[in-house]
Structure 1
Amino acid sequence: MKNEQLLELFSRTKEPIAIFGSPELHIGFVNEAMLRLWNKEEGALNKPLAQLFPNGFAGLSINDLEQCWQSGQNRLFAAVATHGLKNQNYESLNYDFFCQVLIDEDGETRALICSATEAPANAANNSMLNQGQDDVVVRNLRKQLEYSRYREKQMVMAAPFGMTILKGRDLIVELANAAMLSIWGRSEEQVLGKKLMDVFPELDGQPFPIMLNEIFQKGKPLAVREIAVDIAGSDGSSKRLFVDFTYDPIFDEAGKVDAVMATVVDITETVESRKQLEQHEIQLQEYNEELAAINEEQEAANEELLMANRELALTQQLLGSSNNRLIESEGRMRSVIYQAPVGMCVLRGPEHTIEMANEAILKIWGRNEMDVLNKPHHTARPELKGQPVYGWLDNVYSTGIRKVNREFRVMLRDGEGLREAFVNSIYQPLLDAEGTVNGILVIIEDITTAVRERHSAARTQDMFNLAIDAAELATFYYDPLTNLFSGNDLLKTWFGLKPIEQIDLSLATAVIDPLDRDRVISAIEQVLQTGSSGKYETEYTIINPRTGIPRVVRAKGQAYFDLTGKALSLNGTLQDITERKREEERKDDFIAMASHELKTPLTSMSAYIQLVRKRALKEDNSFVASALEKAEQQAAKMATMINGFLNVSRLESGKIYIERTVFDLATLFQEVKQDYAALSAHHEIFFPQVPHLHLHADREKIGQVMGNLISNAVKYSPSGSKVEISCEVKETEVEVGIKDNGMGIMEEDQQHIFERYYRVKGRQMSDIGGFGVGLYLCSEIIQAHGGRISVSSELGKGSTFSFALKHH
């Protein structure tokens, strides 16, 4: 029994127990029962007893206990009067204290175990005798001795470790506690009152009878650690135990050894664990030595192979020798097979009996070792019936020719069913010393996932190609490192290129219309720069060098970069928008013609309205004057709309010009403010204080942009809301912003808001007129000035349109 287990038993026992671990009686262990008897706290641990009880405790002197330690003899202190807690009351109590000395193999005291048992109430009175009456004293002393032996027996029976009392030189078992009976494997009826050698004849020839005889001769205690004892069971079986034990003499009234108290601790489990550890260390050493031998043999084999390369004449002889070595080292190769990351197994004989199989191949097979080892392959794997594997194995075994399969489709076991799998496999014949095939090494790699992913990618590519073909899109790929450009057949047809895989980019850009070529090359260079968003989108015309037919295309692509920001490729598509451009041109021509035709009668109508309105004012006809004022406003809106269409038409035809002059921005803001003062009745329009700043730009068109953005802010925000104009002068540019609190613009619409004829769709837009040309015109004017225009908006909260221009 281990020390920790003994202390656990001592902790749980109800009798007070303390263990002293040094000649100074340092307290190494004390249970709760003894602490209550001492009326002390747990802080007593590791302190000398004299520090807690300078005058002794419970009627015992420190000197008595020190003598027990020094003499190495057990002592019983009977009916000692003391005070302690009982039933939560502090009372006078009588206790028997039994001090058991533990001796080590050198005969030195190792520990002193002191236990206490409450004595009967009249036990103390038995010691209070008339010292003058000798016969009474003798009788009382005998009674005390009898009582002491009674208490001693009680202590033995209560001990948590094995204890027994052997009476006389015949070693009659007088008393044995439960722990001792458990060690012996006997019951009380089988041992009590019987000679030890009669109960355990197998002890004859073992050292214990001799040791016990020496106790009777010398009267000195004996302690032995870790000794083996062979004990026969009551059923005839035999077992070997390892024990620590002490033999303590018990003296009679005449001072002669009358009996021996044996204390036995079963340490079999500890000894066997230690021996197993020692055996494991020996085995590990043997394994290390074997591994060193294997390494030496491997090095020797490598040297032989090197010599074989140098001496071609001896190649066949050395290969035969190496083959023999491999056969002799087959056991050592098992570790290689079992640790391989791919599936490997060895089949032996014409029945292809499975000799070994590693975890990887068992996983592929859907089997475990018990299912397959030492069984013919066709028996262990019946799921392969009707598949070519059986035939391949037979052919390799009969011909000695290796079989290699790439991406072989096979049905494998999966639970109770089958699964489709794809594998790479090698069937390698194994030869004996005479060069005869005696087995096959099978190597399998499961590539099912990779094959399925490739098939899936191929299907995806096929679908993509179908989509590309259905949409009549040309695809392109450009590698900036090699300057090579390639595309699908449709792209090469448009560019009039030869059906080669890749060409230099300059050959492709040479087909672009000269008016667009530099712009396209610049766009490609910008999108490939480090820090670019990578988005590429532009429109240009290509002229087929073979047919001379022009084709307008829209290019969209994405550049990809490595971790350092260096461009790796530019991929994208081209869409033929020639017909759409023609339709737009026809629409633009019609709008330009219609706008021009409408402008002349509208101008005349506006003049007549103004003339009639003036006469109505003179005649003080307020109703007619008011109606004519509204008609004049509607005519002005129509004129603005017609001018917008004309400007778009001129912009597309290249007839709109930017006439730059130097003007004061503050003056322009003041004029715009006056123009839109009439709108203040329905909206609060706030203009900022603008510093005097000179711009070199087209004053009329910049005013037109500001007016268009303010008109939109008023149009798309509720009556009575605020419209705020801002102006921020920066180091090299000035930024103007128009913010409203209107309906806002969805994010997907913001990307197209500056495109021609684009209008946001929705229920709120149905009652607001417009043709989608105002913002397009603003964007074109600002970009023609080399500036930038943008929008930020949140649906339901309003929008902010901003444009920035360079200043001097």
Structure 2
Amino acid sequence: MIENTFGINIIPDNDSGRLLALKRYRIMDTPSEASFDNIADLCTKIFKVPISLISLVDAERVFFKANVGMGKVKEANRGKSLCALAVLDPEVTIFEDALKEPCLIANPNVAGEFGLRFYAGAPLITYDGFLIGTLCIIDQQPRVFSKEEEIILKGLATAVMDQIELRLSALEEIGKQQTTNEELIQQKEEVQSINEELTVINEELNESRQNLQVLNENLKKSEKRFRELIEQAPVAISIYSGEELIIEAANARMLDLLGRTAEIIGQPLLKARPELITHPYLQVIRGVLGSGKDHMGLAVKAPVLRLGKVVERYYDVNYRAIKDEWGKVTGVIAVGIDVSEKIASSLRETEMAEELAVMNEELLATNEDLISSKDYLMLINEHLNKSESRFRGILQQATAGIMVCYGKALIIESVNDMMLTIISKSKDIIQRPFADAMPELKGQPFLKLLDDVYTSGLTYIANETKAIVNRNGELVEGYFNISYQAIKSDNELITGILIVATDVTQQVASKKAVQKAEDMLRFSIEAANIGTFIINQTTRVMVASPRLKEIFGYYPDEEMPYDAAVVQISEEHRERVVASVEAAFEKGEDYFLEYSLIGFHDQQLRWVRAVGKLNQYTADGEMYFSGAIIDITEQKQDEQRKNDFIAMVSHELKTPLTSLKGYLQILEQKAKKAQESSAILMHDKASTQVKRMISMINGFLNVSRLDSGKIHIAKECFNMTSLFKEADEEACSTISTHQVVFSQIESAMLNADRDKIGQVINNFISNAVKYSPSGSLVIVNSKIIGRQLLVEVKDQGRGIKPEDKDKLFDRFYRVVNDDVISGFGIGLYLCAEIIERHEGEIGVESKFGEGSTFWFSLPIYEN
């Protein structure tokens, strides 16, 4: 049940229709997918937010298809999720500060521990206008969301919706493919049955060879005609038999495709084509031979001979098992189409239809010959009639449209049901001229192409050809794979044309949808002013976008090799950047860096943020490192101006504070002489506040010096015993609310900046006192571990929440507490910088509610 925490109606009027639209995509409760996770990850980097979600809003819950930054959470209650509000409006829903929104104050995500402050959600809108979910970004800090950012988020949401549509198209295509495979298996069984009957006919013809000499001559002519039709087939065909894959047959197209002669017929496949010994499809052929399961491959790269050299070409291939009457696999028939120039859609239905058409023509010719025989041939004629009927049945069941036309006028002789479906006609078109039966083709190129094929005898094949066809009385646009092949007589005269067509309108629409998604993603990247690159793992050849070239100071149409780009990186960052790229190539590590560079032509200093990752293998078998680079020069300049301002203000504040401290010391002396206890008490409190202010100002100055590289580390050799003693004495004199105990102290010689290491220890003790109950213990320990000295400060405070633990040492990060006022978030940051510059380590161990242990380790000095 929906638990509404917004105080408003979150159910749109069309919710029932919206839920049906969501259901048709079959995406709820599905595992994560890289195509969606990558877009969500890209959102966090573009908008610099910690959380990005792709959500789908169901009847009572919100399912997260992609989740970056929210842990393992997979769903939420619809009544509590802000995504339920985002599907009420087709525009982007934006809450820049949730605490200022009356409808969100009671929401647990806003009022609870999560502390949501900023939310922006762009709805996922289906092609028929339903809002089924959102692409949203979330932050725990208020933000200002510009109009340009809103446009980018909306564009990325459109890319997400395109991915959902493509996913549905892929699921539907898989279903159709399964149906097609079942039809091919049924057709194969039919062909096997026909082969068995032809075997019986052949035995009877042998017993009657004396009386059927004339018939045999006719049959030889028919066989010759049949082989000629096979040779004229527009596809390459070969047959392999036995465990050694003996090449039993191969037509001229196959020999030409392989770059071989007829001498290979009768040889084992590996002897005839030794270049296949390492090719994966040799195992595929053996797999078909062993399992009896057919295999089809699209755009398969394979080595072939061309002018005596082995070259790589691309083919659509279909391997089908040949079985005997007991179902035992005896060989494999291979059909191949060279698609190197243009990788076309699968032509396996066309190949099957052409094979069936040729076999049907042969049966017709054989039937005519047998009819001329007398009573002795009646039984044979009956068998052939059955075979012919069966082949016509197979022809009708073919998944490709097939039509046979004869004569110059192209009179339609036969047409199967699939072709009638494609052209939306009935069988009344048989015995009519093709042009009269298809008046909608007038003005289109197809009638002239048919005439050219009839005149020249050259086969015409086209893929994804656009045609205007009649569908139920309405002219519509469709896309088709078509083949026009001349039918020739024994004396090579053209007698007609075999037309084969496959409707690929849906596949073309899917490709266009993919292109649209790619264009939208490209637009989003360009709108975000991001430069992109791709680097080949093997060759290190880099392809850079025009924006990336501009960032590196190159002209848009100018070449920018990888080595040249590396040279433009500032020398102090260059080695680190190259090492990170190599780590991505060798270990698959993610790449996230900030560095400066000098423009090639303009010699301008720029700061950039770069992200990237190693992509999976592509069709060419290579791996690529791809990524994006954003110009953050203005942001860096703003930070520098801020640091300069902090340094200036801090210096100006130190002068009056120094004077104030001096006046307080004079007042202290006078109060003590006058023995005014209240004045002394007020002096102590004022001095404490002055010390605190001086400490904060020094912290800001140190941050500014760190950023500008001016902080000085003055190393000297000293024994930690003296430093621990000083820290103990200072704690005893300044801390009266807690017990600070130096327990289990092991000392060692260090080569370090003594004052700054003392500053780290005092900061740890000060924080322990600040965040633990009055009267509790603060314990300082030290011990030697290997060649490191480990220093620990333990308190009995409330501990640290998991979400704060990894950010404690970040600059200006403040832990939110109900009963303690946080500082400015620079103390622990300075401690971390000091320890890092001493080549040490720093960290914290804590469990919320059970206290904390802050620690650092430094290398021991060895003579």
TM-score (norm 2): 0.48
The residue that corresponds to 1:396 in the other structure is 450
**Residue 658 of structure 2 is aligned to residue 603 of structure 1:** yes
1:436 corresponds, among 467, 478, 494, to: 494
Q: Is contact 1:528–1:567 with CA below 8 Å preserved after alignment?
A: no
| Residue number among 534, 541, 546 corresponding to 1:477 in the alignment | 534
Q: How far apart are the structure 1 equivalents of 2:808 and 2:780?
A: 20
Q: Structure 2 vs 1, CA of residues 352 and 301 (structure 1 numbering), >3 Å: closer, same or farther?
A: farther
Deviations 1:459-513 (A, max 9, x none): 3333333333333222233334222333221221232335457543221122233
Q: Residues 69-148 of structure 1: matches in 2 within 5 Å?
A: none
Say if 2:587 is the partner of 1:534.
no
Distance 2:393 2:751 in 1: 82
Q: Report what 1:781 is aligned to.
A: 834
User: Compared with structure 1, are the counterparts of its residues 395 and 803 closer, same or farther at alpha carbon in structure 2 (3 Å cutoff)?
Assistant: same
Tell me the equivalent position of 1:463.
Answer: 520
2:685 aligns to what? Answer: 630
For the residue of structure 2 that corresponds to 1:689, the secondary structure is strand
In structure 1, what is the Cα distance between the partners aligned to 2:701 and 2:460? 80
Q: Which has the larger radius of gyration?
A: 1
Please provide the CA RMSD for this pair: 5.4
CA contact (8 A) 1:422 1:447 kept: yes
CA deviation profile, 1:375-412 (whole Å, cap 9, x unmatched):
759999x9998578997378527852644333235689
Q: What's the secondary structure of 2:499's corresponding residue?
A: strand
Query: d(CA) in 2 for partners of 1:710 and 1:583?
Result: 34
> What is the distance in 2 between the residues matched to 1:798 and 1:659?
34
Q: 2:564 aligns with which of 507, 511, 517?
A: 507
For 1:721 and 1:338, the matched residues in 2 are separated by: 92
Letter in 2 for 1:505: Y
Aligned pair partner of 1:328 in 362, 368, 374: 362
Give the counterpart letter for 1:392 in structure 2: F
Instruction: Specify the alignment match of 2:710 in structure 1.
Output: 655
Name the structure 2 match of 1:317: none
Structure 2 gap segments, 5+ residues each:
1-191, 206-222, 231-238, 240-247, 263-356, 365-386
Which whole-Å CA distance do the structure 2 matches of 1:337 and 1:736 have between them? 85
Q: CA deviation at 1:639?
A: 0.9
C-alpha distance 425-800 of structure 1, shift in aligned 2 (>3 A):
farther
Q: Paired residue for 1:806?
A: 859
CA 1:764–1:283 in 2, change beyond 3 Å: closer, same or farther? same
Structure 1 equivalent of residue 506 of structure 2: 448
TM-score, normalisation: structure 1: 0.50
Amino acid at match of 1:460: A
Task: Give SS of 2:745's match.
Answer: coil
Whether 1:426 aligns to 2:479 is no
Distance of aligned partners of 1:372 and 1:301 in 2 relative to their CA distance in 1, 3 Å threshold: farther
Quote the Cα distance in structure 1 between the aligned partners of 2:396 and 2:836: 68
Give the structure 1 partner of residue 90 of structure 2. Answer: none
Per the TM alignment, residue 642 of structure 1 is displaced from its structure 2 partner at its CA by 0.9
Unaligned runs of 5+ in 1: 1-280, 312-322
2:116 — aligned with what?
none
Q: How many angstroms apart in 2 are the aligned matches of 1:567 and 1:801?
A: 47
1:644 Cα deviation from its structure 2 partner: 0.8
SS of equivalent residue, structure 2 residue 671: helix
Match of 1:693 in 2: 748
Deviations 1:179-212 (A, max 9, x none): xxxxxxxxxxxxxxxxxxxxxxxxxxxxxxxxxx
1:687–1:395: structure 2 CA closer, same or farther, 3 Å change rule? same
Q: Is the 8 A contact 2:595 2:608 kept in 1?
A: yes
AA matched with 2:761: M
Deviations 1:325-371 (A, max 9, x none): 9942677995998799973534455464654467xx89x9599xxx9
Aligned AA (2:821): I
CA distance in 1, matches of 2:501, 2:558: 39
Q: Which residue is equivalent to 2:760?
A: 705
Q: Distance in 2 between matches of 1:803 and 1:697?
A: 13
Indicate the structure whose relative CO is greater, using CA pairs within 8 Å and at least 6 residues apart.
Answer: 2
Q: Distance in 2 between matches of 1:416 and 1:678?
A: 100
Distance 1:753 1:393, change over 3 A: farther
CA distance in 2, matches of 1:726, 1:340: 85
Does the aligned pair in 2 maintain the 1:347–1:353 contact within 8 Å? Answer: yes
CA distance in 2, matches of 1:422, 1:526: 47
How many residue pairs get aligned? The number is: 503
Cα shift at 1:781: 1.9
What are the residue-to-residue correspondences of 1:555-704 with 2, within 5 Å?
555-560=610-615, 568-617=623-672, 619-665=674-720, 668-669=723-724, 671-676=726-731, 689-704=744-759
Question: Following superposition of structure 1 onto structure 2, how do residues 133-532 of structure 1 map, counting pairs within 5 Å?
Answer: 286=197, 302=250, 327-328=361-362, 343=400, 345-348=402-405, 350=410, 352=412, 355-356=415-416, 376=430, 386=440, 392=446, 396=450, 399-400=453-454, 402-409=459-466, 422-433=479-490, 435-444=493-502, 446=504, 448-449=506-507, 451-499=508-556, 503-530=560-587
Cα distance in 1 for residues equivalent to 2:837 and 2:678: 46
Q: In structure 1, what is the Cα distance between the partners aligned to 2:784 and 2:537?
A: 40
Distance 2:679 2:431 in 1: 109
User: Using the alignment, how far apart are the partners of 2:463 and 2:644 within structure 1?
Assistant: 66
Give the partner amino acid of 2:840. G
Describe the superposition over 1:528-578 as per-residue Cα deviations: whole angstroms up to 9, x where unpaired: 442x632321221x2223233322223333344779xx9944332322232
Q: Is the 8 A contact 1:557 1:572 kept in 2?
A: yes
**Residue 551 (structure 1) aligns with:** 606
Corresponding residue for 1:268?
Answer: none
Answer yes or no: is the 8 Å Cα contact 2:413–2:431 preserved in 1: yes
